[in-house]
Amino acid sequence: MSVNNSLEARLKLKAAELGFVACGIALADAAPRTAERLRAWLAEGAHGDMLWMEARAHHRENPAGLWPEARSVIALGMSYAPREDPMRLAGEPAHGRISVYAQGTDYHDLVKKALKALARWLVAEAGGDLKVFVDTAPVMEKPLAEAAGLGWQGKHTNLVSRTDGSWLFLGAIYTTLALEPDKAGRDTCGSCDACQRACPTNAFPAPYRLDARRCISYLTIEHAGPIPEEFRASIGNRIYGCDDCLAACPWNKFAEAARANRAFAPRAELAAPHLADLLALDDAGFRQVFAGSPIKRIGRDRMMRNCLIAAGNSGDAALASAVASLLDDANDVVRDAAQWAIARLAPLQTRSP
């Protein structure tokens, strides 16, 4: 029995040792339609307040735009497949729902550490120059991951893997090495539109198109101002992100929680937090609770806004006092959300005889 001892094969074995469940290679120019699609999306204004998408669009359009010397892209995926149903808190309005990816250790740090280790190994084995990227750089990880064979961009615009469903953190290594590319992923969504139907705010104007301005993940994480009233009721008890379109994907039945990195396991205080507890946090308390979590970057005020929207949707009059304590908050966005929430809860309060 022959053993494949090529550099590409050894690279993938090393990636697996470092915790990546998926590793593929694409040529640096393997996703030519990315630029066209990105320009059209930005022209529609569908990126909302994410102005950095527009400011560095020329870097995102293809790897050469960011680093002309790049010849190959190594796309990698680390699983965070959940052990429990991501939708389990949908009927628990007194609890806040946090997206699965943010319930454990901040993936940026963990994935980047593993990428750097893989990069050091590659340089030692084959030389060349390289750069590593995790999410924060102007890199279009999803189309590159599709080009490298990790999966395909589904109708919800996220990557879908045959083995890991919709639960992959993506990273990329650009290198000057000319590596043998893998076969690109093939779209296997077929006629399924489960992710489209699952969206509470109709954020998909068409399959494979996302209007971020209507997306709950965008509204609760990236958007800094008041959440438009037309979306507030639909947000329900989601206080950071939304998993609905991901959780609806039938390919998730093949995703095994055992393949997920243990560091991404939910922290007890983030798996099912009580809204009353979160509403009581000051800035120091917020920083303490969310230390080491990607949630920390949105700051206390944005989290209070989100929790107040959830409280207003809860139908729980017991939360009225916690909401009322924020009516005079120093932040005007928090005050606005508190006023909206108290107006919904006040009629539910038991009146004294």
Q: What is the full DSSP assignment across 39-56?
A: HHHHHTTTTTT-HHHHHT
pLDDT at 232: 98
Percent of the chain at pLDDT > 90 equals 86
- Residue 190, pLDDT above cutoff 70: yes
Token couple for 338: 């508190």
- Residue 85, pLDDT above cutoff 50: yes
Query: What is the residue-averaged pLDDT of the chain?
Result: 94
pLDDT at 353: 39
pLDDT at 284: 97
pLDDT tens digits for 192-224? 999 999 999 999 999 999 999 999 999 999 999
Asked whether the beta carbons of 151 and 185 are under 8 A apart, the reply is yes
Token couple for 178: 């000319």
Asked whether the beta carbons of 55 and 211 are under 8 A apart, the reply is no
Alpha helices in 186-324 (DSSP H): 194-198, 216-217, 229-235, 244-247, 268-271, 275-279, 283-289, 299-314, 320-324
pTM comes to: 0.94
pLDDT at 222: 97
- Residue 333, pLDDT above cutoff 90: yes
> Mean of the pLDDT values across residues 118-137?
95
Degrees to nearest 5, angle at CA 49 with 44 and 55: 75
Choice between 228 and 51, residue whose per-residue pLDDT is larger: 228
3-state helix, strand, coil in the chain (%, to 5): 45, 10, 40
- Residue 112, pLDDT above cutoff 60: yes
Q: Per the residue annotation, which of 29, 135, 187, 243 is the catalytic one?
A: 135
Asked whether the beta carbons of 28 and 70 are under 8 A apart, the reply is yes
pLDDT at 2: 52
Token couple for 193: 């539109």
> Mean of the pLDDT values across residues 90-103?
97
- Residue 31, pLDDT above cutoff 50: yes
Asked whether the beta carbons of 31 and 146 are under 8 A apart, the reply is yes
Query: Among 25, 29, 12, which Cα is nearest to 183's?
Result: 25
Percent of the chain at pLDDT > 70 equals 98
Asked whether the beta carbons of 129 and 173 are under 8 A apart, the reply is no
> Mean of the pLDDT values across residues 6-17?
98
How do beta strands 152-153 and 22-27 pair? unpaired
Strands (E), 105-196: 130-133, 152-153, 159-160, 168-175
pLDDT tens digits for 54-63? 888 888 888 9
CA 242 from centre of chain: 9
Amino acid in the structure at residue 39: R
Residue 298, by phi and psi: left (phi above 0), alpha (psi -120 to 50) or beta? alpha
Q: Is 135 a catalytic residue?
A: yes
Centre a 10 Å sphere on the Cβ of residue 73 and count the other Cβ atoms it contains.
28
> Mean of the pLDDT values across residues 42-61?
87
pLDDT at 36: 86
Please give the radius of gyration of the chain, using alpha carbons only, rounded to the nearest integer: 22
- Residue 3, pLDDT above cutoff 80: no
Helix (H) or strand (E) holding 60: helix 57-60
- Residue 300, pLDDT above cutoff 90: yes
Coil vs helix vs strand at 88: coil
Asked whether the beta carbons of 278 and 303 are under 8 A apart, the reply is yes
> Mean of the pLDDT values across residues 130-137?
91
- Residue 352, pLDDT above cutoff 70: no
- What are the CA-CA distances from residue 42 to residues 100, 140, 205, 252 (Å)? 28, 14, 15, 30
